[in-house]
Chain A
Amino acid sequence: MSVILEVSHLTKEYKTVKAVDDLSFTLNEHEILGLLGPNGSGKSTTMNCILSLLRYSSGSIRIHGKEMSPSAYDLKQEIGVIFQDVAVFEELTVYDNIRYFCGLYIRDRKTAEAYIEDAIHLTGLEDYRKFYPKQLSGGLLRRLNIACGIAHKPKLLFFDEPTVAVDPQSRNNILEGIEKLREQGASVIYTTHYMEEAEQLCDRIIIMDKGKILASGTPDSLKSITSVTEKVMAEVPRLSEEKLHKLEGEVTNGSIRYENGRLVVSFHDGKDHITHLIDILRRMQISYLRIYSERPTLNDVFLELTGKELRD
């Protein structure tokens, strides 16, 4: 697979604060690369630097081996961007918005019209061509935002947290749409702070915090960083200190956390510990409402790397 985007030692400083600190990564063809991190970790800043919207302090950014700059129009031709904020004209209809932004990339009218139809079809906006943005729901507005960014069939796509404040159904539609785009030959950089999205969608994930890369790799390889092999959660309304202490003695191959009526046991070896834990709870006469187990998540990875939750 060839490298489509190469970021080398990118640094962006605001006075004394480094928003992006010596960042280096690549994006391969037909790959979906996730930038995962909490708010303020430097994801959007990184993206804006790559798009030459922000001036950066040092480093280099190359697309198809060529240096990216504000006047690199040939490179810009290949790029599509879906911003976190909806970027459409209030005064234009759905169709006119897509037509306008597509027209900035595609000069031939017939080609542009064909592309616009494809974009409308892909985002499910057939029934809303003549609607104005004010008349659309939040989900539809997001779809319009996407349609404006992909209409010209770019090969390199940037999605900046496109599912913020979107209902679950629309979110699924968006993620499915991105998959389709990859199938059609696009390469995608996807920034988010939702680990589930990153796990579901991305081939590779870069975990960022405070402008630095903490870890990168496939979801499975990232999860292997953490020492936790399985987590068993139980809803325990009442648990005394004494019983908790006793329980800690019983579980030798894991760590226990109890807060707000929730007991979390993180095992550091093997799996399928749920049956064993149920036995222990029964024996100790600890009543619980619900018990389930899950594999470690990226949140656990982040917690291990930084000492805080991804959602903090």
Chain B
Amino acid sequence: MIVCKAFLKVIRKNIGMIIIYTVIFLVFSVANSRTGETQTTFVSEKPSVCLVTEDDSLLSDCLCRYIGEHMEIVDLPEQDRADALFYKEICSIIRIPKHYGRNVCSGEQTAVGIQTSVDYKAEFVKLMLERFGRVQNIYVKTTDSEQELVNAIESALESSVKVEVASALDEKALTAASDFYNFAAYSMMACIVFIICLVLSSFNEIMIRKRTLVSSMPYGKYSTLLMLSSCLYAMAVWAVLVLLSFCIVPDGMKTDRGIWYVMNGCLYMLVSLTLAYLLSTVLKGKNAITGIVNVITLGCSFLCGVFVPADYLPDSVMAVARVLPTYWYVQTNELLKTTETLDKTTVLPILIHFAVLSGFCVLFYAAGMMISRHNRRIA
């Protein structure tokens, strides 16, 4: 009991660090959380664009209406447009030149101008404008007036296609839950590994250890108590994160995957705990701990799809990331997001990932025990 009490008192001294990591995590989770109703029908995405028109003709009005139907028009002053494009507030700036309507009707060369980024939304905007242009170019030869042309274009572009959503998954809710738990990997690992390493390093300080070794408490019992105290702290961190998940991404957590996210988080917590134990036997001094733990937690997070979606990481990086436990944790979250139904077949890969994470736990703990035993002999 006295060992546990001492452990908790030392943790309390580092409460500032725990709060900082939790606040960072909360800010990110809230900023990135997506809310919205479950969608069982298809809803077309409407990218945001800035529309600048220098023409006042019927044709340009028709084009503006068409753009408004398929895109979200954002009104921005000139000086803010370039930044808005860079930061992806808008995906395109569309410019309708002067005398556009008159030039089209008289057969002169003219075209809508576009400034875009290079992603899918920008490509969609380009496609839609080209589609309008094609229909306009087809009908300009067969109509006699601008009004006729506008009528023909609008009639042709009314055409719509039925889109069915095959999946019953609440994609947005599950994406939010996956993103939450993915980012939680960084916070959880940082909170657990950093704090436990700091606390255990205080207990492992040479003079303290010597005092412990000569005391009447068996060293095995002492070690076990320290491990249990660390476990208690790690479970508290995990519990807080789970609680936050139910507050911030409740829709995803209420599905049948909710319990799987929680279990995955629990396993990752155990991995972090055993990693902290291993590192505490190796690292000496607060500076070394701060440096190495930061490199490990940030490295795991960057390389395994925590900060950058796994889909965007190069194959070479993903190949290297397989040796890190965070990779298996993130992959489980991705599976939970995309798997249509959870049955015996589809759950098997998840269970394999759980087994791999358990293997990491055993590996870290065994390595930590060996090093600890070796250190005791030297002391």
In the complex, A touching B (Cβ < 8 A): no
Contacts from B to A (Cβ < 8 Å) = none
